[in-house]
Amino acid sequence: MLLASLNPAAVAAGADIGDAVRIDGAVLSRSDLVGAATSVAERVGGAGRVAVLATPTAATVLAVTGCLIAGVPFVPVPPDVGVAERAHILTDSGAQAWLGERPADSGGLPHVPVRLHARSWHRYGEPSWDATAMVMYTSGTTGLPKGVLISRRAIAADIDALAQAWQWSPDDTLVHGLPLFHVHGLILGLLGSLRIGNRFVHTGKPTPAGYAAAGGSLYFGVPTVWSRVAADADAAAALSCARLLVSGSAPLPVPVFNQLAELTGHLPVERYGSTEALITLSTRSDGERRPGWVGLPLTGVQTRLVCEDGSIAEHDAETIGSLQLKAPTLFDGYLNRPDATAEAFEPDGWYRTGDAAVIDHAGMHRIVGRESVDLIKSGGFRVGAGEVETVLLGHPAVDEVAVVGLPDDDLGQRIVAFVVGDANADELIAYVAEQLSTHKRPREVRLVDSLPRNAMGKVVKKELMK
């Protein structure tokens, strides 16, 4: 059963938690979740696909849970998405209705409300493990967003592997304030909790004060969240009672890693994943946690690094290769895009992540960045933008940084650093040259007020390359 903690028979027999989910001022017991979500299932049963406006509310929790009970694929739609992008998601997905909340411009789709106090105790059979659970859309950085088909099997495999790596159990209280339209907040945070059976607390906005007050044992955050926690000594100290602090969705700056370790007593767990593959790499609760490294393959995951000439890269912590993987967590293709699906895989079945990485002798992985924007070819050398960014973030005058390769008639690409902070450009260039090989130094440093970011806090480097 995908949502194992919501087994109706077990809940009826007394395996209940009065505060299984806390979100947006609402408190839901397991009995509430089973009864109200089953009522939702009855209202959408038989539908082909429905759209869910993924606000952090009880209505969203019940809409998602109801769809999974009924075996109806749902499409989580970001509440802040633009009109044109939302129209594309609705049209491309073939969603037949809005379930729960809906935007002011509903695109002409009918509306099926979620009634928080309705209850049904109808028993549904468990859908096939191979059935599509949801269609999650990519961020659209390389064109229109693509619908990623995610199966029930992939979700269960990923949560179970993470439970093993993080010693995640029903005794945990999981806290985060992340969006419910991405893998991190929705699949790991909400569905992970409903499968494992731990308490789940959504803080709304992921503020340091909100995290400190939640009293969790397991916290999820993106680097922006953790940098704010690290800047608030009182909030950070309150997290010392937690068991694990997990960071993902973007690289965690080494200085933030070190600050969290000093203030909370916890070395953060870093992990790596994508919409198409879910989480595939992670440091472990009982293993080494090294700043800047995202750990080992989860159970069932295989990885390889492929060099430009097609050879397999050495595991020497230096040789950069294209990261490819095989895993039980992989998606079932892009909706309506057989061409894009075929391009995502090698002929022998390995999935092309589009990320560049290095692996050390122990099998630890470090992500250099996206091959399209983070792998810089300058003067005949291949330079990972992430390595340069890590060094620059170690300079006390640098608050934020993004490194890109811009066209250069002589070098092919020149390394350019966009820096937020009270810094001197020439000093930063010399600083990198002292820390790394000379050819890895930025040829130019541009001081800016801020960096363009998406909803998950990731820097949108395409904006810097225009």
Of 127-141, 334-348, 368-382, 409-423, least confident by mean pLDDT is 368-382
No. of H helices and E strands in the chain? 14, 24
Cβ atoms of 333 and 339 closer than 8 Å? no
Fold agreement (4-127, 194-370): yes
pLDDT digits (tens, 9 = 90+) for 206-262: 999 999 999 999 999 998 899 999 999 999 999 999 999 999 988 888 889 999 999
User: In which element (H, E) is residue 84 found?
Assistant: helix 83-93
CATH class belonging to 194-370 = alpha beta
Calculate the alpha carbon distances from 197 to 105, 152, 181, 244, 258 in Å: 36, 17, 21, 17, 32
Question: pLDDT exceeding 90 applies to what percent of the chain?
Answer: 78
Which tokens is 239 given?
A: 């997290």
d(CA 136, CA 74) in angstroms, rounded, equals 8
Residue 141 has pLDDT above 60, yes or no: no
CATH class belonging to 4-127 = alpha beta
Half-sphere exposure of 90 (CA within 13 A, CB side): 23
pLDDT digits (tens, 9 = 90+) for 177-217: 999 999 999 999 999 999 999 999 999 999 999 999 999 99
Domains of the chain, residue spans:
4-127, 194-370, 375-464
Residue 378 has pLDDT above 90, yes or no: no
CATH architecture classification, 375-464? 2-Layer Sandwich (3.30)
**Amino acid (1-letter code) at residue 256:** V
pLDDT digits (tens, 9 = 90+) for 396-419: 899 999 999 999 888 889 999 999
